[in-house]
Structure 1
Amino acid sequence: MSLDMWLAWLAACWLISLTPGAGAIASMSSGLKHGFWPGYWNVVGLQLALLLQILVVALGVGAVLVASETAFSLIKWAGVLYLLYLAWKQWQAVPSDLQPAAADAAPVSIARLIGNGFVVNSSNPKAIVFMLAILPQFLDPTQPLVPQYSLMAFTMVATDMIVMAGYTGLAARVLKYLRTPRQQRYLNRSFAAMFAGMASMLSLVNRTH
């Protein structure tokens, strides 16, 4: 991959990451609820799913997914249901859930935070279709593909981790300004509405649009 091509890919990665989506909403929700460092484990899960999506495309499995209406629909509706579940959990969250954890409180489950991020990203089949459409445009077919895919994956993950750190950190800073239960409840339900909105958007996508 030439330097010019890599710079173009880097610009595309920033554009993709900065576009708000389910991952950004999950990152902000995690930052609000757990603070920056615990909440950032959610971002690790997002990146593991992103690496899986790139691997699927690199192996050619993405083409099978695009061709199979059944496979696409199964993954899509699983994602819709999970986002609706997150919306319900966020709507039901009590105001105290957004308060900083006490010193003697049980630690946040890292595995659960990583798993949440992984499911949010991996259950979006449109991401596979998008990757399948955009990644080959930055590849040089005359050069070995594995190093190119590796560099592209590293670039995208590094970029996304920086952007998601911004979303998580911004939300974590908001935490100290949530003084009343009414404010916390309003924010909880705002995120619930955003998760539900992303579920609605995902339910409308198909393999070609």
Structure 2
Amino acid sequence: MSLDTWLAFLLACWIISLSPGAGAVASMASGLNYGFARGYWNAIGLQLALLMQIAIVAAGVGALLAASALGFALIKWFGVGYLLYLGYRQWHAPVQEMRLQHRPIGRPLSLVLRGFIVNASNPKAIVFILAVLPQFLDPALPLVPQYLVMALTMVTVDLIVMAGYTGLASRVIRLLDSPRQQRLVNRSFAAMFVLAAGLLATVRRA
């Protein structure tokens, strides 16, 4: 991969990562609920799912998934259901213990799994990667090193962006002085999860 191609791919990665989506909402909700240090485990889960999706595309399975109406629908509706579940959980999140010294601890493994499911249950991500990555591949060069470079680039950029989303939301807690304000923020994030679920429900195979 030439430097010019990599720079173009790097720019594409920033645009993709900065675009609001279910991963961004999940990162902000984790930052709000658990603070940055704990909430950032969610971003690790997002990246593990991203690496899995890149591996699927590199192995050629992504083309099969894109062509399978049943497989696409099963993953999509699982993702819709999971986002609605996260919205329900956020809507009913406790408000009396939201101050800095009383934040729930949150288990890293649970947050990693949550992030993984959010990304892995979006079949459009695989189709998107399948459509984008080959445009930056040089077929005259070995493909595996190129996929590794692109995977490292995507994960690095997304970790930086999700750190921003998580950190920004973790600071919101400092502004919450009453249960009413805390409830409003929780329900705003719940609405964003539901919106993300609604958007995913409208996705169709290309």
Range class of TM-score, shorter chain: over 0.9
Matched, 1:47 2:38: no
Q: Summarize deviations over 1:17-51 as a string: whole Å, max 9, x none.
A: 00000000000000000000100000000000000
The equivalent of 2:120 in structure 1 is: 122
What's the RMSD between the two structures over aligned residues? Answer: 1.1
- 8 A Cα contact 1:34 1:100, kept in partner: no
- Equivalent pairs counted in the alignment come to 206
User: 1:106 Cα shift?
Assistant: 7.3
Which of 169, 178, 181 lines up with 1:180 in the alignment?
A: 178
Structure 1 gaps of 5+ residues are none
Q: Summarize deviations over 1:144-199 as a string: whole Å, max 9, x none.
A: 00000000000000000000000000001111111100000000000010000000
| TM-score between the two structures when normalised by the length of structure 1 | 0.96
Q: Provide the identity percentage.
A: 62
| TM-score between the two structures when normalised by the length of structure 2 | 0.97
CA 1:5–1:22: 2 relative to 1, 3 Å: same
Paired residue secondary structure (1:179)? coil
**Structure 2 matches for 1:42-121, cutoff 5 A?**
42-102=42-102, 107-121=105-119
**Structure 2 matches for 1:125-136, cutoff 5 A?**
125-136=123-134
Whole-Å Cα distance in 2 between the matches of residues 121 and 101 of structure 1?
31
User: 1:202 Cα shift?
Assistant: 0.3
CA 1:94–1:107: 2 relative to 1, 3 Å: closer
The equivalent of 2:161 in structure 1 is: 163
The equivalent of 1:150 in structure 2 is: 148
Paired residue secondary structure (1:6)? helix
CA 1:97–1:121: 2 relative to 1, 3 Å: farther
Whole-Å Cα distance in 2 between the matches of residues 131 and 124 of structure 1?
12
- 8 A Cα contact 1:75 1:125, kept in partner: yes
Structure 2 gaps of 5+ residues are none
Whole-Å Cα distance in 1 between the matches of residues 163 and 105 of structure 2?
21
